Amino acid sequence: MLSTCFPDISGEKRRPLEIEFEACGTVNAGTGDFAPHYMSALGHGKLTQTNGVQGSIGACKRRDVSSGFSWSAGVELGVGVASASEYKHWSADGVEYIQRMRPADVWIQQLYAEVKWRSLFLEAGMKERGSALLNDILTSGDVVESGNARPVPQLRAGFVDFQNVPLTDGWLQIQGELGYGKFADGGWMKKFYSYGSYHLNTGAYYVYRRLYFRTNTEKNVSVTFGMQAAGEIGGVTRYYRLGQLVKTRNLKAGLWDMIKMIAPIGSEKHGEGEYMDGNNLGSWDVHVRWRLPWSGDVVKMYMQKPWEKGSSIGWHNGWDALWGIEYKFGNSFGGIVTGAVVEYLDFMNQSGAIHYAPHDRPGSTIETDVSGGDQYYNNSEYNSYTNYGLGIGSPFLVSPLYNRDGYPAYVDNRVRGFHAAVTGSPNDFWSYRAAISHKKGYGDGRQPRASEGKCTSWLIEVSYYVSRVKGLKIKARIAMDRGTMPGDNFGASLSGIYRFSVNMWQK
């Protein structure tokens, strides 16, 4: 740049403006109907097919947390070709046929801009996000916002990080975010949906909110607790049977409806539909961190307890939760093992199978309320909690994308199983990750399986940082699924990732 060759005569101070660039290319191949679970999970929807070649290029300017005001922006474009999957469909005249679908050849993965003022931020666009509390490299996935699906276009605001609560002398901190977005996968859903049964919603809005409290992290023990909540509201829902449209509902999404989604306070509907406008779901989160003073190692124990509507908010769903322990090693093993996670997920007690409320049945002599039928991630008015067929929440549950009959909802949301993962970096050039999981599925609360579904998955991943080319990393992965959820898959991939930055100058 000219400013690096000639003196600055403007009389104003300048500071560097760093733009980061990344280029990535991936080749994957395998057997089965889809890429193995661990090759696609938590990958922001980029790789789902058995065979493919894809590339991406992106650039970003990160926020400057040291200044009172700063801005950031980013863009990532993807291009590729992949194998197709076959899905069953029903035509308008009731005839079943097969449709082949494959990912787009060109797409916008990320496009966003953000401004920060002191401890607050405002952001607009599509930006990849992971879990707010869990380690995305090791975990099986956050229950509410995991980074498993492509990002939803949205406007989001909140605290940049945890901030001290006044009058607590730093003992208590708070962090929160609020986001409003709009699903852009309507065209994809129309192609994927079988039109045989169930329903299809288009034009819905996405709502996310989070509020966490945390104790002082300078202490050896700190606790984070709070709630995540997400939802869908608005749009048009159409119900089909064997290719025929049988019912249409226009769902409200006015200003007052949007405000009520922040903290649902009731519904204007009587005798039909849900008690709260929109589809509401989320999790109660508790995260305990213990730093071992004698070694510097860190132990984390956490729980994410899912909820759908009011019954499971009130913990009427038993021990349902994601339970996890993470161990972060200091120099105990010389980098051979740097971190490990063991998780147990249980989604078996969704407030019971039956839901009944007396005022839903005028004239009924039965006056007892029965809370049940919550169906994690599914809803009777809205699409399941997905984007482009992949779960926005935990990928441990098999997403609708893998339903070869074009059924657009979770078949198995009564699931239990375990996940374990380990990482290491024995030197500056080599690193690895390994993971294994086993799960069983029992259908849902209203349509249980005749026999349980099973799946065992594993992954081995090795990365090499090329010493002669700064910023270049080569990553190889091999993974396998064995079972009926969704089926037997095997795959391997080879990726090249090149990152570099350019320093410019700003006033």
- Cβ density class 79-94: b for 16+ within 10 Å, e for less: ebebbebebbbbeeee
Other beta carbons within 10 angstroms of residue 498's beta carbon come to 16
Handedness of CA 231, 234, 236, 241 (dihedral sign): positive
Using DSSP bridges, classify how beta strands 52-61 and 85-90 pair: parallel, antiparallel or unpaired.
unpaired
- What does the chain come to in residues? 507
Write down the residue that tokens 């599509």 correspond to: 126
Identify the DSSP state of 266: -
Where are the extended beta strands (E) located within 131-271? 154-159, 163-164, 172-182, 199-202, 205-215, 221-233, 235-241, 244-251
pLDDT at 7: 36
The token pair at 380 is 């009777």
Tokens of 387: 């984007």
Could you identify the residue written with the tokens 């509020």?
Answer: 211
CB contact at 8 A, 424 and 335: yes
The rounded distance, in Å, linking the Cα atoms of 377 and 1 is 51
Q: How many other CB atoms are there within 10 angstroms of residue 474's CB atom?
A: 14
Dihedral pair phi/psi, residue 243, rounded to 5°: 85, -5
66: phi then psi, degrees, rounded to nearest 5: -85, -15
Q: What is the pLDDT of residue 319?
A: 92
Confidence (pLDDT) at 295: 86
Distance CA 468, CA 45 (A): 32
List 15's β-bridge partners, or say none.
506
3-state secondary structure of 249: strand
Residue 327's SS3 state is strand
The reported pTM is: 0.92
Residue span of the structural domain in which 17 resides: 2-506
154-189 in b/e form (b: 16+ CB < 10 A) is: bebbbbbebeeeeeeeeeebbbebbbbbbbbbbebb
**CATH number of the domain where residue 272 is located:** 2.40.160.10
Residues of the chain with pLDDT under 50: 1-13, 266-274
CA distances from 318 to 285, 301, 302, 350 (A): 15, 19, 17, 8
pLDDT of residue 353: 64
Q: How many CA atoms lie within 13 A of 399 on its CB side?
A: 24
Alpha helices in 390-481 (DSSP H): none
CA–CA gap between residue 475 and residue 430 (Å, rounded) = 10
* The total number of structural domains that make up the chain: 1
pLDDT at position 308:
87
Residue with tokens 């961190």: 289
